[in-house]
Amino acid sequence: MEYIQLKQGAGIRRFGIKTADGKDTGEYIEIDVEDISLPIRASECIAKHKENWKRLQEKFDEADKLPNKNTDGFLTEKEKAMLEALEEFYKAEAEALDGVLGEGGTRKMLGGRKPYVTMYEDINEYLEPVIPEITLTTEKLAKSIKEKYSTQKEENVL
pLDDT at residue number 57: 97
Sequence letter at residue 59: K
Percent of the chain with pLDDT over 90: 50
Residue 39 binned pLDDT confidence (cut-offs 50, 70, 90): confident
| Tally of domains in the chain | 1
Secondary structure letter of residue 115 according to DSSP: P
Residue 53, pLDDT above cutoff 80: yes
Secondary structure letter of residue 67 according to DSSP: -
pLDDT at residue number 153: 60
DSSP per residue, 2-61: ---PPPPPTTEEEEEEE-TTS-EEEEEEEEETT-TTHHHHHHHHHHHHHHHHHHHHHHHH
pLDDT tens for each residue of 132-154 = 777 777 777 778 778 878 765 65
**Is 113 within the bounds of a domain?**
yes
Domain with 110 in it: 38-122
**Is 27 within the bounds of a domain?**
no
**Is 158 within the bounds of a domain?**
no
pLDDT at residue number 54: 98
pLDDT at residue number 152: 55
**Is 3 within the bounds of a domain?**
no
Mean per-residue pLDDT, 37-45: 89
pLDDT tens for each residue of 62-114 = 999 998 888 777 889 999 999 999 999 999 999 999 999 999 999 999 988 89
